[in-house]
Structure 1
Amino acid sequence: MALPVNRFKQWLGESRVPVGTWLMTASPNVAEAIGFAGFDYVVLDMEHVPVDVPQAIAIMQAVAGTPADLVVRLPWNDSVMVKRVLDSGAKTLMFPYIQNAEEARQAVASTRYPGRGFRGVAAVHRASRYGTVKNYLQEAEREIGVILQLETPEAIAALPEIAEVDGIDALFIGPGDLAAAMGHIGDIRHSEVQDAIGEAVVGCRAHGLPCGIVGADPALVGEYIAKGFAFVAVGSDMSLMMGRAQEYLATLRGETSSTENSGVY
């Protein structure tokens, strides 16, 4: 059996902008439904959602039967968690809160087998189709995607050094944490935050790396696409559900919907 192609990595080399959303409910059923909604990809969030590895596998299995591809945001730049999530079948990993080139190198190395890194070697697991992909150890690196999140002004300042690290497939700007680190917590649309986001995407493009971001609504995400972001995400399963619920209730009660926010997702 051949190792499946990482579609997300392929999309990064295309001119169109893939559109995704976040998975925050920790529900395989909701993940499967969102996978059928039409998004190119979905992001399983293990950083802010209480999802452990067995739950993550159930969500991976649910999404695998849909047209959407899956990205897993790790809880931290932790090589043990990287090993377990990769062996569980994840192909594209997003590492949160990368601050400098050394942390970037550690992240990449944790996804590579000895010779190129320090990923632990196991033969029979979900990633190798339980040992049926005979050349998995030799070919795994080709199909693994590494996305690093830059979430502070210090990380954006270090972007030129981070971008030089071999093995990075894309960078991702975390607007919520960036706004907080800049003293504008909860105000992603603040002009200083948006200027920093614009600076970051220009830096990524200058170094030949695709850059992604998430926004709360189509209007903001449309602005990000216009700035040159190569892939974007809008909202989350939870925010989409809550937004529609509030919209329906406001209509029935003759009230103004309270779904507008400052950029949370």
Structure 2
Amino acid sequence: MAALKHNAFKAGLREGRLQRGLWCTINDTLVAEMCAGLGFDWMLFDTEHSALDPLSVLPLLQAVAAYPVSPIVRPGSLNAAEIKKLLDIGAQNILVPMVQNADEAAAAVAAVEYPPAGIRGVSGLTRATAFAEIAGYHKAARAEIAVLVQVETLEAVGQIEAIAAVPGVDGIFVGPADLAAALGHVGEPSHPEVVEVSLDAVKRIVAAGKPAGFLSADEGFADRITEAGATFVSRDIDMAAMKRGLKDRLR
């Protein structure tokens, strides 16, 4: 029989270790596999703002499985049916976008937990269960699944303490792009007001006892966020890195 896979990313959250990540939007298994061997602690496959979906994420999860990197998947929304599919194809880390309050955070947690605690549908012959080879998977799975919720509106930022208090929330991610739009600075994720609100949000998340996450290609902004206590931080996006590298070659 197979053993339930240890979730190194979730362990790192509990330990408070800084974990460096790469945001991924390219639907290509060779690119994913190459990136998996570069030394990142985690890679996030984004189905909200890319052409990815559960079917196209599956081969990406398979491509990185042999490497010491933890995949995270962001569903398109707080959709229990979509989250169920992602879990069944083997995702152990889920980042739920646009969580506005404690009720929505609780719904995100419920989506990854089997009844009676939650609403995850039960299936035996899945990639997550190693095709029914992991004994006791359904009772043990939640211990190795991390639920991350994303606060990216003014309403959500105002509810950080309530969201952090929801049992089962394993981390809170601050989204600067939508937060910038909410503050009237759409397209300016490094605007000084966005920086100020984001830093305050991260400090409040940490003070509430939860790991904080962030994405920014602005090195100075990312440095300040890390200094404020964020422990799962991405400083780049795969497609942006490729574009930047190719433009540099042209120069």
- With the length of structure 2 as denominator, give the TM-score of the two structures: 0.97
Equivalent position of 1:51 in the other structure:
52
Equivalent position of 2:28 in the other structure:
27
Q: Could you give the per-residue CA deviations for residues 182-229 of structure 1, whole angstroms, max 9, x where no partner exists?
A: 100111221111111011111111110000001114333222211211
Distance in structure 2 (CA, Å) of the matches to 1:121 and 1:15: 32
Distance in structure 1 (CA, Å) of the matches to 2:224 and 2:205: 17
The ranges of structure 1 where at least 4 consecutive aligned residues each deviate by more than 6 angstroms after the TM superposition are none
Q: Counterparts of 1:136-215 in structure 2 under 5 Å?
A: 136-215=137-216
Equivalent position of 1:106 in the other structure:
107
Larger radius of gyration: 1
Distance in structure 1 (CA, Å) of the matches to 2:250 and 2:100: 43
Question: How many Å apart are 1:15 and its aligned residue?
Answer: 4.1
Distance in structure 2 (CA, Å) of the matches to 1:217 and 1:64: 29
Distance in structure 1 (CA, Å) of the matches to 2:186 and 2:109: 30
Are the aligned partners of 1:153 and 1:196 in contact in 2 as well (CA < 8 Å)?
no
- Report SS of the residue matched to 1:110: helix
Structure 2 counterpart of 1:240, which letter? A
**Distance of aligned partners of 1:191 and 1:218 in 2 relative to their CA distance in 1, 3 Å threshold:** closer
Are the aligned partners of 2:23 and 2:43 in contact in 1 as well (CA < 8 Å)?
yes
Distance in structure 1 (CA, Å) of the matches to 2:185 and 2:202: 20
| Structure 1 residues without counterparts, runs of 5 or longer | 251-265
Structure 2 counterpart of 1:159, which letter? I
> What is the root-mean-square deviation of aligned Cα atoms in Å?
1.0
Q: Could you give the per-residue CA deviations for residues 46-76 of structure 1, whole angstroms, max 9, x where no partner exists?
A: 1011122221110000011222110001110
Q: Could you give the per-residue CA deviations for residues 141-185 of structure 1, whole angstroms, max 9, x where no partner exists?
A: 111100000001110001111111100000000011100111001
Q: Could you give the per-residue CA deviations for residues 32-51 of structure 1, whole angstroms, max 9, x where no partner exists?
A: 11111111110000101112
| Structure 2 residues without counterparts, runs of 5 or longer | none
Sequence identity of aligned pairs in percent?
37
Distance in structure 2 (CA, Å) of the matches to 1:218 and 1:26: 26
Distance in structure 2 (CA, Å) of the matches to 1:90 and 1:78: 15
